Amino acid sequence: MGIRVLARSVLLGVAVLLSTVSTVQAAVISYTLLDASNNVLARANFSTSTNRLDVQLQNFIANPASFNQALTDLEFTFSLNQSNGQPFSGALSTTNAQHVRTILGDGSFNVADSPPPGYNFGWSLQNGVNDGLGVGMRLCVLCAGGTGPNALLGEPGAFNLYSNADGTIKGSATDNPFLAGLMSFTLDVPGLTHDAYVDSAFFSFQTAVLQGHCYNNLDVSCQPERRIPEPSTLTLMAAGLIGLAVFACRARRPTT
């Protein structure tokens, strides 16, 4: 009798554990953008819960060559087809980035680069976005047109300098300051549930739109990506990849 009770207790414990693991796995899903050598260019982490979405965004292109390698948009769609939300607490001013950097003409940047209290990060939320990817949402810094500031930049190169940068980054009166490090957004999304997930994510470097690929932090298979870009979007992706490849080659070219 004691063995049966013990066995039932163990089975119950395993069932509870498995249900807990399943819940945790469904909560966080990530999309990465890779180059041809499988180097990570960008990553977005999405965490869903009841009526809420948390997003973390980071640019991993180190020592970028131009503004074309600064992240400006993140578009995403949901498995439950939500397309409307609003910033948590009513404003994206609650958005945070680890660094605000003004890149100087010699490639150095200001040392005291933590965002000051009340800093306007310049990012907006667009609802009902449909660029041939299905209806979803977009977080963007160029929604109102123009270029910068507050685009998301990668880290500097050797000697803590943006040595590869051209005039669209170094000393730019138009694009500075840039954001760097990890950006976080919290959105109210009515109808979202813990079982819902982001089923596509697209990263933009100005007009270059590139599709991220799904994985999750628990190293298990995530839900299949459901959104397939239309031909016009595929053309933008191809142009973006070519542009990034050109700048990568330029960055690796030895200088005299």
Structural domains in the chain (count) = 1
Q: Looking at the domain assignment, is residue 9 inside a domain?
A: no
pLDDT for residue 44? 95
Return d(Cα 51, Cα 137) in angstroms, integer.
15
Mean pLDDT of 125-144: 86
- The predicted model gives 62-89 an average pLDDT of 92
Residue 152 lies in a domain: yes
Residue 157 within a domain:
yes
> Are 48 and 197 contacting, i.e. CB atoms less than 8 angstroms apart?
yes
Residue 4 lies in a domain: no
- Give 94 or 173, the one with higher predicted confidence: 173
SS3 assignment, position 169 = coil
> 96 lies in which domain range?
26-252
- Does 3 fall in a domain? no
Residue 16 lies in a domain: no
What is the b/e burial string over 178-205, where b = at least 16 CB atoms within 10 angstroms of the residue's CB?
Answer: bbbbbbebbbebeebeeebbbbbbbbbb
* C-alpha torsion sign, points 153, 137, 246, 61: positive
In a domain, 18, yes or no: no
Question: Considering the entire predicted model, what is its pTM?
Answer: 0.75
